Amino acid sequence: MKIWVDADACPKIIKEILYNAARKRSVLVIFVANQVLQLPISENIKFLKVKAGFDVADNEIVDRVEGQDLVITADIPLAQEILQKGGLALNPRGELYSSDSIDAKVTIRDFYDTMRSSGLQTGGPPPLTPTDKRNFANELDKILTRNLKK
């Protein structure tokens, strides 16, 4: 199992949790971004720089994900593609996307996108809370415990 991170928009606190997981669990975590990131030096932490452009990082992640790899992303269409490939997708708030709910999430996301393109100010997501951070860490731990035993 590898962990792929849609790193351009990944919150710093989530990256720190992932650094710790890479070291403690000896799991490979690959940060994919279109700009250079300052990452800790570790054999389990890698960086993949991609060209700037719409969905370039997402497409690279989709191309490289295998089997039960985990992708960390708040990007719902990316999560949908990962689930279709048989991977796992977890958002920075600790919600594990599922095939049962992803279509509804895509529909809602598309609705808000349509509203924004018509000029409606919908605002962005609220800042991460300590509860979100805890939920993410707990869900990541469950996933790693379950999948690294296999």
Give residue limits of the domains in the chain.
2-148
Return the bridge partners of 71, or none.
Answer: 4, 89
Structure tokens at 48: 């993949």
pLDDT higher than threshold 70 for residue 86: yes
Q: Dump pLDDT digits (tens) for 95-135.
A: 999 888 876 676 666 556 666 677 767 666 788 999 999 99
pLDDT tens for each residue of 32-83? 999 999 999 999 999 999 999 888 999 999 999 998 899 999 998 999 999 9
For the domain made up of 2-148, the CATH class stated in words is alpha beta
Buried/exposed code over 102-129 (b: 16+ C-beta within 10 A; e: otherwise): beebeeeeeeeeeeeeeeeeeeeeeebe
Contact 58, 6 (CB under 8 A): yes
